[in-house]
Structure 1
Amino acid sequence: MKNIFHIAAVFLFIMGCGNKNTEESASEEQAEATGIVVSQDQFDTNDLMIGAMERRTFPKMVETSGMIDVPPENRASVTAFMGGFVKQTSLLIGDQVKKGQLLVILENQEFVQMQQDYLEVFNQLDYLKAEFERNQTLFDEKIASQKNFLQAKSNYETAKARYQGLKEQLQMLNISPSKVEQGNISSQAAIYAPIAGSITKMNVAKGSYVSPATEILEIVDNEHVHLELTVFEKDILKVKKGQKIEFKIPEASEETFNAEVHLVGTSIDNSQRTIKVHGHLEHEDEKASNFLPGMFVDAMIMTDTIKTLSLPEEAVIESEGGYYVLKLIDQKDGGYTFERVAVKQGSTYGGFTEINSSELTESDKFLTKGVFDLIGG
C-alpha cells in the first residue's frame, strides 16, 4: 500500500511539471504570434533604427508623358530655291555646322540662263534710262509726242522691274549679282546653313537631283531644349504656368530632372482628348547637351501640396498583397517587440511615404530601418 502511494505521488509530480512546461510553451507561442522580438545584439548588429512619424509636405501630382523638343527657330529644314543636281556635299548626320557654313552646291543650266537674262537687262538699263530722260525733256519742251514719252517710260520701268526681280532671284540662289555684272557666269549655286547646330537628317548624295520641294537636310540647334508634354483633359484644369515638373528619360537614365510649366495649350486634340503643355528645363546650360530632340520622357507635374504623416520609404514594406509597418509595442530587458500593422500607403516623395491609418498616432514608434530583413517582401 505504501508503494502505491509513492508511485501516485511521483506521477502527480511529473504531470505537474508537464503542465508547467505546456503553459510556458503556450505563452511563448502567443508572444511569437502577436509580435516580432529583436534582441539588443540583433538590433545593433543589423544597424536597425527606430523613429516616429513626421508631418511632411507631399505634392499632388499629375502623371504625363511627352518628349524633348526644340523651338521652331532652332530647327531648320534646308531646301533649294530652284531644282538642281548635287555637285558637292561632304556632310554626314551628326556633323556640327556654323551659321553661314557651306552645305551643298547645286548645278543647273537654268542658273546660267537666269544670269544671262540678268546681264542682258542690266546692260539695257542705262540705255533705256537715257532714252526715257531724253523723251521726257522733249515732251516737256513740246517737241516729242506724249506717246513716245510714255513708251520710253514704260520700257524703262519694265526693264527696271525685271532687273530688280532677277537680282532678288540671284541673291536667293546665293549668286552674286555684282559678279554677274562683271561677266562672271556660273552654272553652280551654293546653299549655306541658316542656323548653327547639328545635322539630324541628310536626304541627298552627290549627283542626286533635288527639286524645290525636296528637303535636302535638317539642322537642329539643341542649345535650348524644352518639354512637350501631353496632359489628359481630366487633369488640365489642375495645370498652371509656373508649376514644377519632375521628369525622367526612362530609356536613357534613372536620374530625375527638373523643369517648370511655361505654357499650357488652349485647344484640345479631339481624337485623344489631350492638350499640350510646354515646359522649360531648370539649369538648362548644364543639362541641354545631354538631351536630344525626340527623347521620350515620363513626367510628373506638381499641381498642389498636402501636409500629412509620413515614414521613411524603407519603413513601409509590401507583403502578401498589402503594405505593413513594424510598430514598437514593448522595449525591456535589452530587447524590442514589434507588431506588424497594415497601413494604406499614400504617395512617396523625397524618400518618405505618406501613411494613412486611423490606428496610428504621432506618439507611436516604428522600425524605420531594417524592416525588410524582418518581414521580407
Structure 2
Amino acid sequence: MKIYQTIPALLLAFGLFSCGEKATEGQAVSDTKSAFILKKQAVSNTLQLPVELLPYESAEIHPKVEGYVQRVLVDIGDQVKKGQLLVQLEAPEVNARAAQAGAGFQEVAARYESSRDRYQRIKIAAQEQGAVAESELISAKNQFLADSSAWLAAKANSQASGQYQSYLGIRAPFDGIVTKRKVDVGDYVQAGNPEGILTVENPDKIRVRIHIPEAYVSSLPGGDSLNFSTDALVNQTFSAKLSRKSGAIDRTTRTELWEYEFDNRSGAIKSGMYATANLNLGRAESTFKVPNSAVTTTLEGKFVIRIRNGQTEWVDVREGIQMKDGKEIFGELQEGDTLLTRSSDEIKAGTLLPVKLNN
C-alpha cells in the first residue's frame, strides 16, 4: 500500500514542476517590465577623431643617373625654390657620352649641309635643258634625303645625351623646405634605389585628413569647415576648409576619407603633428532615440522588443549616432510603439508580458 501511495505523490509533484516550467519559458511572464513610448526627437553628439596633418606637397627625391655626390648645396630646414640646384653628381662616363654625341651631331650636320647645298645647286642647274643628267639629279636628291635623316637622328641622340647629362644636377621640384637629407659628398648613388637622397615639402598649405566612420558619414553637418587642435599648441584652435572627399568607404577601416586644407603660410603648424577634431553630429530631421539598454546585441544582429497586443516582438534595428544617454536606431518601427526599456534575448518573441510605462 505504501508503494501505491508514493507513486501518485511523485506524479503530482512532477506535474506541478512541469506546469511551472512552461509558465517560465512559454507564453506568460508574471513580472512587470518597464517600457516607454517610442517617439522621434532631435539627436546630436560631439565626436572626437584624430586627424592627419600632411604637407600639401611632399617629394622624396631620387637620382635619375648613377654617380658620386660632388656637392650638396642644401641641408635640412633650408628654404628652396622650384628649379634650384640641390645636389650635383659627378659621372665622367655620362659627360663623355654627351660630348661624343655632340661631336657626332656636328659631323653629321656638316655632311647634311654639304649635301643640301649640292642638291640645291644641281636642282637649279637642271632647269636648263641638257645641263645636268637626270641620274645626277636623282643621286644628289637621294644623298640629301639620307643625310637629312642622319642629321635628325644625330640631333635627337645629342639632345637625349644632353638631357641625361643634366640629370647630374638634382633640382627642387617646387618651392618648399628640405626636411630630410641622406647623402654627403663622396657618396655613391644610383637610380632605382628605394631610399631617396632628399625630401622636400611644401608646408605653406597643410592637408588635414580625417577618416569618418561609416555610421557618421551622413550625419555630419553640411558645412565646409573643420576646427582642430594640436597637443603641441595648447589652447589654440585652427580652422580648415573642406576640399575633397574620397567618395567611397574603405573596406578595411569602414571609413570615408575627408580632406581639408589649412593656410599655413604663418608656419604655425608642422606636418606630422598629432591633432584631433571635434565633429558635431546631427540629423536634419528628428529620428528615434532609445536608452542604451533597450537594444540587445546577438550574433545575428541587434534588436529591440516591442509590445503589441500584450505580446513581445523582436524588431531588428541598426544603430546610428551614439550619445551618453541613449542611441539613435533605425528599423521597422513607428512613432507611438511601446518598447521595453531593458531588452534581453531571454525574453522570447510571442511572450505575454505585462508592462509599466515610464513617464
CA RMSD of aligned residues (A): 3.3
Task: Kindly state the Cα deviation for residue 216 of structure 1 after the two structures are TM-superposed.
Answer: 2.2
Say if 1:259 and 1:279, in contact at 8 Å, map to a contact too.
yes
SS for the counterpart of 2:218 is helix
Residue ranges of structure 2 left out of the alignment (5+ in a row)? 1-41, 127-133, 285-322, 326-359
Matching of residue 218 in structure 1 with residue 199 in structure 2: yes
Counterpart selection for 2:172 from 179, 193, 201: 193
- Specify the alignment match of 2:31 in structure 1: none
TM-score (norm 2): 0.56
For residues 348-359 of structure 1, the aligned pairs below 5 Å read none
- Specify the alignment match of 2:289 in structure 1: none
Say if 1:244 and 1:302, in contact at 8 Å, map to a contact too.
no
Alignment partners' CA distance in 2, 1:266 and 1:162: 50
Say if 2:101 and 2:154, in contact at 8 Å, map to a contact too.
no
Alignment partners' CA distance in 2, 1:158 and 1:296: 61
Alignment partners' CA distance in 2, 1:297 and 1:172: 44
- Specify the alignment match of 2:95 in structure 1: 111
- Specify the alignment match of 1:150 in structure 2: 142
Task: Kindly state the Cα deviation for residue 304 of structure 1 after the two structures are TM-superposed.
Answer: 4.1
Counterpart selection for 2:83 from 100, 107, 110: 100
- Specify the alignment match of 1:265 in structure 2: 246
Residue ranges of structure 1 left out of the alignment (5+ in a row)? 1-56, 176-188, 307-343, 347-377
Which is helix-richer, 1 or 2? 1
TM-score (norm 1): 0.54
Say if 1:86 and 1:104, in contact at 8 Å, map to a contact too.
yes
Alignment partners' CA distance in 1, 2:265 and 2:277: 20
- Specify the alignment match of 1:292 in structure 2: 270
Matching of residue 280 in structure 1 with residue 272 in structure 2: no
Counterpart selection for 1:235 from 216, 220, 224: 216
Question: Structure 1 residues 285, 93: closer, same or farther in 2, change over 3 A?
Answer: closer
Say if 1:243 and 1:301, in contact at 8 Å, map to a contact too.
no
- Equivalent AA in structure 2 for residue 291 of structure 1: I
For residues 59-70 of structure 1, the aligned pairs below 5 Å read 60-70=45-55
For residues 1-377 of structure 1, the aligned pairs below 5 Å read 60-71=45-56, 74-109=57-92, 110-135=94-119, 138=122, 141=126, 142-144=134-136, 146=138, 149-171=141-163, 173-174=165-166, 189-214=168-193, 215-239=196-220, 242-250=223-231, 253-281=234-262, 284-286=264-266, 289-304=267-282
Say if 2:66 and 2:190, in contact at 8 Å, map to a contact too.
yes
Task: Kindly state the Cα deviation for residue 275 of structure 1 after the two structures are TM-superposed.
Answer: 1.8
Question: Structure 1 residues 267, 171: closer, same or farther in 2, change over 3 A?
Answer: same
Task: Kindly state the Cα deviation for residue 210 of structure 1 after the two structures are TM-superposed.
Answer: 1.5
- Specify the alignment match of 1:29 in structure 2: none
- How many equivalent pairs are there? 236
Question: Structure 1 residues 138, 273: closer, same or farther in 2, change over 3 A?
Answer: farther
Task: Kindly state the Cα deviation for residue 148 of structure 1 after the two structures are TM-superposed.
Answer: 5.7
Question: Structure 1 residues 137, 222: closer, same or farther in 2, change over 3 A?
Answer: same
Question: Structure 1 residues 149, 275: closer, same or farther in 2, change over 3 A?
Answer: same
Alignment partners' CA distance in 1, 2:110 and 2:255: 64
Say if 2:227 and 2:277, in contact at 8 Å, map to a contact too.
yes
- Equivalent AA in structure 2 for residue 260 of structure 1: K
